[in-house]
Structure 1
């Protein structure tokens, strides 16, 4: 019988945030989190059938170390990564901070990754069914970041069900510049070409919450034309709301958790209005309850993903969200 998360949380919060994260991955690999068979109503997004509409966002299991255990918690789908072609250590530590009073997290990991080949080997060890996607990243020092996305897709694409293009991490210098229309067109042309002649998986695009009105218009107009199968809204934010009370509030990096719920849901709603069903949406950012998950669906999402909410609520959040959406 799994240990109640209220007790586990006390133990994890006695560690710094990154060590707690690593301890969680280790516990999952050992089967200590237990299993909760997926429930809820299946949903199809971009031709991929999720067991239920509640997924795990990228960033939690970067190297695909605990995919089977995570699916066993009741997630309808799991997104691994971000994955870069070559291994890279990411930014110096400390690089992740809990804002406990704000139910938030700031991270500046910098796409630390074991590299595409190592992640592929981990995926090949899977023993249980379930939908898995990969978040494609680029190496920090790469001179051809578009080529990095294509390389990752060639290596990992045959082992997953969808791939998400990550041009919205705030922790890799210059990466968000790839969100403009010309850059996105080049990226998706290259990725579609990389899949020609073989098994092609749907390509999703994850956007930042800090987009200008012009950016939103450009992406909404371009997405159906360049073959974006689904839009993931959104990544972490570089904004710092005045409501933050934590002493870590001004740390550099991407802010996630409760303060992101409002801005990311507003952005989701705007994309829903502009796309009018032409591209399905996945809502991410600030989900800490079943009601939050439902708010994302009400704003136009076909499915949702959670991550930072798990820090504060634990695996019980998965079931609560699945149940809330099953009753919606």
Structure 2
């Protein structure tokens, strides 16, 4: 993992950024910094008609880069996170200048206009990341963060309302390994609510999580991945529930839901030369790592916790080693996932309620 090699396995999955030096911080942000201003190639998205050739930058004046909207959003999250956590970041001024140019009130108004007649656009994955970005700006005590947060506020409010109106009332969870996964979105939205002190939203997310998952048992994790997954449906659910249930209650729930230690999944291999979509499986290893680490943190000491921590380390090592590809199919998003793993305790992504 070159300059992202921690001193030991415990540090790798601890979710603290204090061991990451300037070179490693620059590696975390190299692809996001380039990607947020890379308009093409771009996912087609919604086509309004045969004459619709609107460039991405006109549709999305802030989040036009990184191939698709949600990746542009979480790449901005990664960049802001890096500015907050790494005061000596070597690309600090370039990052800040780029955000200054994109994240303005005028540009956010253009983003907001896109949602006027598209109330399910990027539900729920992009919504969750937008709120994660807003939370990151809120927790950083810096004049630039305040300025950017003020600019983003109208879109933050709109997405927050859409979460309440068009996501939390859904009558069933989506147990998939891709963007529609309900558990991952609920986790990120819950972290947002707790970070910004939105008690009403926190209660609503907890109620939804309990209604969706409280009675689940016997996770079929051995059948994963189901396709080109970048999230584990089972582990994303467990990572949510350790946020929702207190220690004893979560341990009891986990006993009934997670498989025995000897059937925990091994990291997934990604063969050289596979189609770029296979890089989703690199993201799967990274997201499994943060979920396993979070679950282990919430369990009492013992052989089960030890086995889960060992699985987290194995997934983290494989995922981080393979994440920094120059293939744009992976480079436009994987660095954000690594940042999420390596800094998960640095901004509301860790504690159990």
More contact order relative to length (CA 8 Å, sep ≥ 6)? 2
More strand by share: 1
By percentage of residues, which structure has more helix?
Answer: 2
TM-score, structure 2 as length reference:
0.28
Q: Radius of gyration: which is bigger?
A: 2
Q: TM-score when scaled to structure 1?
A: 0.30
